[in-house]
Amino acid sequence: MIKGFKEFVFRGNVIDLAVAVAVGTALAALVAAVTQALIEPIVGWILSLLGGSDGIGGTITLSQGYELNFALLIGAVITFFVTLAALYLFFVAPMNRYRTMTGQGGVDTRPPDVQLLEEIRDLLKQQANGTKSAD
């Protein structure tokens, strides 16, 4: 049982996934910190200039003390899109370039049994063509 677990962990996909999750989490934390430290105050300042109801950075106070914080909402949206852009620029685009350079192209989404059957078909065609040319 331990041998099977060890093979599962060191197969490669699990390690790649663990690294991706760790890097994605670190990147999301970095982008969130930048958003909280820079973007939210700027958005709040701009919204207060545009005339927030109480002049406190884009918040609107409703009855019974409930408050809508538009700066926080806009900051979260910006964080989401900046995180997506950073993941694309730092991971997806370089991987696509690498695949193009190595000739791997896109990812094959066909099921493995279909791939195998197509390979067998192609080999049979090659053998048939090779036999005809030898005659």
Domains and CATH numbers, the chain: 2-110 (1.10.1200.120)
Burial 51-77 (b: 16+ CB within 10 A, else e): ebeeeebbbeeeeeeeeebebbebbee
Model's pTM, two decimal places?
Answer: 0.50
Q: What is the per-residue pLDDT across 42-71, written as a single tens digit (0 to 9) for each?
A: 777 777 777 654 545 566 777 777 777 777
Mean pLDDT, rounded, for 87-111:
78
Q: Report how far Cα 62 is from the mean position of its chain's Cα atoms.
A: 37
Write out the H or E segment, with its range, that includes residue 13: helix 13-34
pLDDT at 109 over 80: no
Write out the H or E segment, with its range, that includes residue 3: helix 2-9
Q: What is the per-residue pLDDT across 24-44, written as a single tens digit (0 to 9) for each?
A: 888 888 888 887 788 777 777
